[in-house]
Structure 1
Amino acid sequence: MKNIDEPTPRSRRLPALLVGAALLMNGATAVNGQSKSGYGSSHSLEGGDSVTEDIQQDDINTGAAFPIRGQPLKPWFDAKRRWYDKYGLKLNFSLQTLHQHSNNQTGETTAAAGRAEINGSWELVGRGTKNIGKLTFRVENRSTLGTEIPPSKLGNQFGSGTLVGTGFSDYSEANLSELAWRQALMNGRFRFVFGKISAVGWYGAHALSSPKRGFQNTALQASNTRAFPGRGFGLGVGYEFTPRLVAVAGIHDANAKTTSNPFDTIHQGEFLKSVELRYYLSTPERARWDQVRLQLWHQDARVEANVPESYGASFVASKLMFGDRVMPFMLAGISSGGASIFEKDVAVGVSFDFDTTASKARDVLGIGLAWGDPSNSVLQEQVTGEIYYRFQILDNLAITPSVQMIRNPVAYPGKDTITVVGLRIRATF
């Protein structure tokens, strides 16, 4: 068994590597708000932890609290720009760690994990038009850093109904978590995607949903009344009725596991079906922030997993206000059948953006509060709060301290409140 008081050599190297990489990468090739590699807007229908969102958001130059003079890796960004101009290939690399500690009296109290990713988007059809066809992919590795468990399992130690360390689990080896074809037609108004994709990132997301940039607790990322299969075979379509009114629908393998071969479960023929109607409150360019979404979903009975047929609805709304520096949001959901942890939930929150640019804030303070009523009547209602501050210390290095308060964890009736403190470090290039 590992001694959690003595980090492994790998756990000592990765945080240092994060800082070192960011120091080298600092000194971007573009002014604040512009693209570092010439990628521009993705016009993606997805949010949260998605390939297209990561590529687009991480390529925006937001500036830094402590800029470093000079451009030591200007050739790197210039090379990415040339690859895109010549071949239509966009690449995004990131390294991130999450360290968390809780005050529960049973089980493990400390968790840490690292996550390394390569995201790619290769435009192969229709370049220079609105009807682009592209291959997207993600290769990633996640592993604990000197602790017995990763942050994704810390909430299990005290009976939380939601994950307190989303996105930071432990894979046994590198994993191809996305391989999909995305196509736009009808002058970009109709789009579809098929392949190994996420059933989560498509629906119910808001601008703070990403576990790598926003809230860490799933209670504040999206409604937990929804079914949450892993990444597997799926098909998604989207149609733009007007620039402000968009419908998205999809069908996904209900038994998918992100780390498994998708052929292992698709033959069971049990699917999650979903449709979501979106209304953008201002312009499509501000759709990440100014939006209202309503999702309806149905999941077939999962026979081997002993999960009955389930269905539900979820809602999310957000709006940038006060000179684009404040974004309140609200989400809610209701479900029946037991496929999700909660039968009903509601969450509200707000972000305060500092040093804003045309398309992304440099530093962000996020505050959120959520309530959930479990599908299992034996469990108790849970209230979750989280506050975080994402500080862009260098152009390619962000640190995010956070505090979570979980009151009445659903499966821990003897404990009123658990506190989880965390520190996320993320380098992108």
Structure 2
Amino acid sequence: MKPISLSLALSLCAVPALAIAQTAPPAGDAPVIRNPNDVPNVIRDANTPKDSLVRETPATGFLDRWFAFKNSLYEQTGFKFSVAYHQVVQVASSDNRWETGSGAGAEFDFTWEVFGRNGTGPKGLVGGKAETRFNFLNATAAQSVAPKAGSIWTGAAGYGEQDLSIPQLWYEHHLVRDRVLFRVGKIAPFAVFDYNKYKSPRTGFIGQPQNVNPTIPYPASALGFGGGARLTNGIFFAGGLFDANGSPIKDGFDSFFNQREFFAIGEVGWTPDFVEGLEPGKDYTPGNDDYHLTFWHSDGRKDIGRPEGWGFTGSVQKGFGSVVPFARYGYSSGGATSLKHLVSIGAGYEGLFGYDDDVLAVGLNWGEPSNSALDPQYGFEAFYRMQLTPQIAVTPDVLVIVDPATDPSSDVLGVFSIRGRIAL
């Protein structure tokens, strides 16, 4: 393993133990990693009541019993779970290209608090996700639509094909009043590092630049370990070491221990709202402020011919009431990623039209490809997530790409999506 990988691996890892729910967590609910894609937060979001356009449906009685069952199960066993189904239909059009595609997925997320559930001693929990992804209207996966039409980045991150698998299965242990945590097992690094409130292909931006950050070569799902610590002044440290060849459909033991090609990542940041969560006996309510620096190193991957590389990302997010602006810069060296430079800025507007859980967000981005033969690409994305019922969200999304990098004959590429999600 290269020296820079070792140094990052020895830093404390995985993001600070924080909650992201919009309401106070129920009794016995431990703080969790901040990122909206992390398993405990996916469950928490599904279980949180939402302000919606339609509040009473024919299924309301059944859903009341469903959530009562889930609460009872947690109180008796410490087991939490959520199920979700999401799908997207996408169309891309330029001067000389026309592409269509679709994607869907179903997931089951769970956590089981094995130790410390009643506040006696440090908390330990097992978490995981079972997931399948598929096409449902035509043969083209949604994540392939924009690249086939000339874009260097995808317009539907995470909407490909994947057999039923368990991409995440890990154990997490909390120490020092939840200020320190460690996690080991099958982990999705994307769901932990480089936080942004709208960084979610299920509930936020669907395009890659505002979402996955194409200057970081995340393994999609990888065997590894991580941990993190937060301090009383709002500063946190995080990091991890993962199998660079990790795959959602493989356990990863062979590649982790035999190939030994690693992806190492470290992060330092300041989130002023951390301070509130450190007062004993008080619930933590997350705010919108976040400032962090992320550093990474990836060993070369011989099997696919990807070179060794390193890079960093700086990210700023600051809330002003219902408006949450953000900015990010990412750099990647060595050709380990499709982009060498990425600049993105944008803002979200929450509580639109008087509904607390509706969100309108816009983002602008510029990316310089690692391949010097390609020209820089510019993009604009906007989405409006409408909470139709407490469990169903519908999100139209538009992505406009100027000077698509792999189709120089076109000046503009438009990508239009409609996404739906049911979470129970």
Q: Structure 1 length as normaliser, TM-score?
A: 0.86
Indicate the residue corresponding to 2:241 in structure 1.
251
The correspondence for 2:267, drawn from 250, 271, 276, is: 276
Cα–Cα, structure 1 residues 273 and 336, in superposed 2: closer, same or farther, change >3 Å?
same
Structure 2 residue 297 is the aligned partner of structure 1 residue 305: no
Conserved? CA contact 1:320–1:328, under 8 Å? yes
Indicate the residue corresponding to 1:328 in structure 2.
325
Query: Match of 2:82, SS?
Result: strand
Structure 2 residue 416 is the aligned partner of structure 1 residue 397: no
Conserved? CA contact 2:98–2:149, under 8 Å? no
C-alpha displacement at 1:237, in angstroms? 0.8
Indicate the residue corresponding to 1:385 in structure 2.
380
C-alpha displacement at 1:294, in angstroms? 0.5
Structure 2 residue 65 is the aligned partner of structure 1 residue 68: no
Structure 2 residue 150 is the aligned partner of structure 1 residue 159: yes
C-alpha displacement at 1:264, in angstroms? 4.3
Indicate the residue corresponding to 1:213 in structure 2.
203
Indicate the residue corresponding to 1:260 in structure 2.
250
* Amino acid corresponding to residue 134 of structure 2 in structure 1: S
C-alpha displacement at 1:132, in angstroms? 1.1
Question: What does the per-residue CA deviation read over 1:325-384, in whole Å, with 9 as the maximum and x for residues that have no partner?
Answer: 100011111121111111111100001101699xx9410001001101111101110111
Take 2:287 and 2:330, find their aligned partners in 1: how far apart are those partners? 20
Cα–Cα, structure 1 residues 60 and 355, in superposed 2: closer, same or farther, change >3 Å?
farther
Take 1:154 and 1:363, find their aligned partners in 2: how far apart are those partners? 27
Structure 1, unaligned runs of 5 or more: 1-31
Cα–Cα, structure 1 residues 260 and 160, in superposed 2: closer, same or farther, change >3 Å?
farther
Paired residues, what number?
392
Cα–Cα, structure 1 residues 175 and 243, in superposed 2: closer, same or farther, change >3 Å?
farther
Structure 2, unaligned runs of 5 or more: 1-20, 278-283
Take 1:106 and 1:260, find their aligned partners in 2: how far apart are those partners? 39
Tell me the C-alpha RMSD between the 2 structures: 2.2
Cα–Cα, structure 1 residues 315 and 33, in superposed 2: closer, same or farther, change >3 Å?
closer
Indicate the residue corresponding to 1:5 in structure 2.
none
Conserved? CA contact 1:356–1:362, under 8 Å? no
Query: Match of 1:282, SS?
Result: helix
Indicate the residue corresponding to 2:11 in structure 1.
none
Query: Match of 1:71, SS?
Result: helix
The correspondence for 2:73, drawn from 67, 83, 87, is: 83
Take 1:308 and 1:403, find their aligned partners in 2: how far apart are those partners? 34
Structure 2 residue 362 is the aligned partner of structure 1 residue 367: yes
C-alpha displacement at 1:224, in angstroms? 2.0
Conserved? CA contact 1:389–1:402, under 8 Å? yes
Indicate the residue corresponding to 1:137 in structure 2.
128
Take 1:141 and 1:252, find their aligned partners in 2: how far apart are those partners? 22
Structure 2 residue 47 is the aligned partner of structure 1 residue 50: no
C-alpha displacement at 1:190, in angstroms? 1.3
Structure 2 residue 340 is the aligned partner of structure 1 residue 349: no
Cα–Cα, structure 1 residues 274 and 159, in superposed 2: closer, same or farther, change >3 Å?
same
Conserved? CA contact 2:43–2:81, under 8 Å? yes
Conserved? CA contact 1:100–1:112, under 8 Å? yes
C-alpha displacement at 1:72, in angstroms? 3.2
Cα–Cα, structure 1 residues 220 and 145, in superposed 2: closer, same or farther, change >3 Å?
same
Take 1:327 and 1:42, find their aligned partners in 2: how far apart are those partners? 26
C-alpha displacement at 1:405, in angstroms? 0.4
Structure 2 residue 118 is the aligned partner of structure 1 residue 123: no
Cα–Cα, structure 1 residues 102 and 113, in superposed 2: closer, same or farther, change >3 Å?
same
* Amino acid corresponding to residue 345 of structure 1 in structure 2: L
* Amino acid corresponding to residue 260 of structure 2 in structure 1: G
Take 1:225 and 1:41, find their aligned partners in 2: how far apart are those partners? 35
Indicate the residue corresponding to 2:91 in structure 1.
101
Cα–Cα, structure 1 residues 383 and 286, in superposed 2: closer, same or farther, change >3 Å?
farther
Indicate the residue corresponding to 1:8 in structure 2.
none
